[in-house]
Amino acid sequence: MPKSLTPPLAKLNQEIEGHAREFGLDFFETIFEVVSYDELNMVAAYGGFPTRYPHWRWGMEYEQLSKGYEYGLSKIYELVINNDPCYAYLLESNSDVDQKLVMAHVYGHCDFFKNNFSFRHTNRRMIDDMANHATRVRRWIDKIGVEKVEDFIDRALSLENLIDQHAPHIRRNPDPQRAEDELKSNERVEGFKVNREYMRGFINPSEFLDSQRKKVEEEKAKTKKFPERPQRDVLAFLLEHAPLEPWESDILSIIRDEAYYFAPQGQTKIMNEGWASYWHSTIMTRRALKDDEVIDYADRHSGTMGTRPGALNPYKLGIELWRDIEERWNKGRFGKEWDECDDLRARRSWDKKLNQGREKIFEVRKHYNDITFIDTFLTAEFAIDQKLFVYGFNDKRNSWEILDREFRKVKNKLLQQLTNFGQPIIEVVDGNHDNRGELLMAHKHDGQDLKGDYARETLRNVQSLWRRPACIITRYDNKGVLLRFDGQNHTEKKIDL
């Protein structure tokens, strides 16, 4: 069972919290709990929460984490929950320098959770809701049976990314009541033109106007789309319109709620981990480290920042980009004058001593996500300094190799990987395709084709919820293709786009 902080750890926590607030970090109350490595692996397998609904994948992830720790391949240093208050876990076997590093890192995360706009609409009581979700699923298991419920969860989890991750911040669909009122006002039937007002009732009797209004409504119904505009939140559409049983609807709503809770963390992975790393580095090197802890700290920090070949380390990219922003705004390396300077010697020695770096990074922390962060602040100089490149597989040489170091291609590749978490954007375009009750979805093609096996399995699982054939329009080799699954067979048909 998790334990509260021992007196020595409580003293360290008080020290680190004081340093964090001294540097200007603003966070919710943060509660640390001390756990064994086995308990930490269990919590990590649950996505950082002490309890989740029953499902086999938690056990699979626990086994993977446990073996990684036992074989010395990986070690979890910190886990923190976006909640109010925030909850974080400390490994009881850690040394004091590890505990201080983890605490400083956690306070960086908690500051980011509280202040970044992406988390503004997240559930700040999710630790309670996760427990409620677990209770609801267990009740359905007792009533329906574990195999039936688990099979449905498997299918629902395969669709959990079919949400509109920007929905909490924008309104894509108009207010229903207002739209209905506008529609009725547009459908007003005038009847025949009347020159004398007293003749209106004779020329356009109410029975005639009602019949004309009915005709207009019937014509509107024939041409009305369902949904009226493409809907990116496929799970919401299924919850509203699919013929789900009550238990299926309840579980699907749980999967969707949790997907929306975790979405901002995916949208800000580089910023968030970079911000927390920046502050643990700043707090430890400027305030908290003792002389005899420097080597151990350097070993832990370098292990976190290390990047293996062919992989992107969000900790490393994030912290370096935060430091670059701070340096640029301290030295005035921004604005029209800087952009127009083409003298390399002048750019290297450029320093207007503005010292606005710390103020700027707090501003960026509040208003950006990973995509806007990379798009706005990743520069050609930064890409060269960090040795960023695009790699791929060379069929002729049968090997992976560097394809390009050109800045624009590197940046575009990064942005492509971050957009919608690097996954295809799918929208519902017709809930009554060909007037047969079939569900038609569309893939917004961005240069990356759908993986055929993934697309077929997704259609299979969507069809199992819709209970009617499910289709998706996509593009292969610049030609339109309609993929369809009717519950038994997969078919493909070429179409014009």
CA distance 317 to 312: 8
> What pTM, to 2 d.p., does this model score?
0.87
- CA dihedral angle for residue 451, residue 457, residue 460, residue 465, rounded to 10 degrees: -110
The whole-chain average pLDDT of the chain stands at 89
CB 411 within 8 A of CB 378: yes
Same domain flag for 310 and 290: no
Same domain flag for 59 and 136: yes
Range scoring the smallest mean pLDDT among 122-136, 160-174, 343-357, 474-488: 160-174
Number of domains forming the structure of the chain: 3
Q: Is residue 25 part of a domain?
A: yes
| Residue linked to tokens 């446990």 | 66
Q: Is residue 200 part of a domain?
A: no
- CA dihedral angle for residue 137, residue 142, residue 146, residue 151, rounded to 10 degrees: -50
Q: Is residue 197 part of a domain?
A: no
Quick one: average pLDDT of 343-347? 91
| Residue linked to tokens 């960026």 | 364
Residue 71 has pLDDT above 90, yes or no: no
Q: Is residue 194 part of a domain?
A: no
Query: How confident is the model over 355-413, as pLDDT tens digits?
Result: 999 999 999 999 999 999 999 999 999 998 988 888 777 777 777 777 778 888 889 98
Structure tokens at 352: 């207007």
Same domain flag for 39 and 74: yes
Residue 310 has pLDDT above 70, yes or no: no
Same domain flag for 315 and 289: no
pLDDT the model gives residue 74: 74
Q: Is residue 186 part of a domain?
A: no
Burial, 496: exposed, middle or buried (Cβ in 10 Å; 0-12, 13-18, 19+)?
exposed
Same domain flag for 277 and 354: no
pLDDT above 70: percentage of residues in the chain: 91
Same domain flag for 290 and 325: no
φ, ψ for residue 33 (rounded to 5)?
-125, 140
Structure tokens at 143: 């009533």
Half-sphere exposure of 251 toward its Cβ, with a 13 Å CA cutoff?
Answer: 27
Long-range pairs for 453-462: beta carbons < 8 A, 24 or more residues apart: 455/483, 456/483, 456/485, 456/490, 457/158, 458/158, 458/159, 459/483, 459/484, 459/485, 459/490, 460/485, 461/155, 461/158, 461/159, 462/159, 462/234, 462/238
φ, ψ for residue 382 (rounded to 5)?
-65, -45
Same domain flag for 281 and 141: yes
Residue ending a domain, among 270, 296, 322, is 296
Cis peptide bond N-terminal to 227, omega within 30: yes
Neighbouring C-beta atoms of residue 355, cutoff 10 Å: 12
pLDDT the model gives residue 187: 52
CB 326 within 8 A of CB 360: yes
Structure tokens at 126: 């999710």
DSSP letters spanning 9-38: HHHHHHHHHHHHHHTT-----EEEEEE-HH
Same domain flag for 14 and 55: yes
pLDDT the model gives residue 221: 56
Q: Is residue 317 part of a domain?
A: yes
Same domain flag for 310 and 257: no
Residue ending a domain, among 275, 296, 317, is 296
* CB within 8 Å of 426: residues ≥ 6 apart: 162, 232, 234, 441, 442, 443, 444, 472
pLDDT the model gives residue 186: 47
Three-state SS string across 331-390, please? HCCCCHHHHHCCCHHHHHCCCCCCCCHHHHHHHHHHHCCHHHHHHHHCCHHHHHHCCCCE
Q: Is residue 214 part of a domain?
A: no
Q: Which helix (H) or strand (E) element contains residue 414? A: helix 407-418
Residue ending a domain, among 261, 296, 331, is 296
C-alpha distances in Å from residue 38, one per residue of 60, 92, 131, 344, 418? 14, 11, 21, 54, 33
Quick one: average pLDDT of 334-350? 92
Q: Which domain holds residue 269?
A: 1-169+224-296
Classify 392 in phi/psi space as left (phi over 0), alpha (psi -120 to 50) or beta: beta
**What is the CA 395 to chain-centroid distance, rounded?**
33
Same domain flag for 238 and 138: yes
CA distance 214 to 219: 9
Quick one: average pLDDT of 269-276? 97
pLDDT above 90: percentage of residues in the chain: 69
Same domain flag for 114 and 238: yes
Query: How confident is the model over 138-191, as pLDDT tens digits?
Result: 999 999 999 999 999 999 999 999 999 888 888 766 555 554 555 454 455 666
CA distance 94 to 12: 13
Structure tokens at 21: 């607030």
CB 75 within 8 A of CB 69: yes
Query: How confident is the model over 461-477, as pLDDT tens digits?
Result: 999 999 999 999 999 98
Residue 193 has pLDDT above 90, yes or no: no
Strands ordered across the beta sheet of 425-433: 425-433, 438-444, 470-476, 479-485, 490-495
Residue 113 has pLDDT above 70, yes or no: yes
- CA dihedral angle for residue 370, residue 373, residue 376, residue 377, rounded to 10 degrees: -130
Same domain flag for 9 and 133: yes
Q: Is residue 77 part of a domain?
A: yes
CA distance 493 to 483: 7
> What is the chain's length?
497
Partnered with residue 484 across adjacent β-strands are: 471, 491
Burial, 424: exposed, middle or buried (Cβ in 10 Å; 0-12, 13-18, 19+)?
buried
CA distance 361 to 352: 18
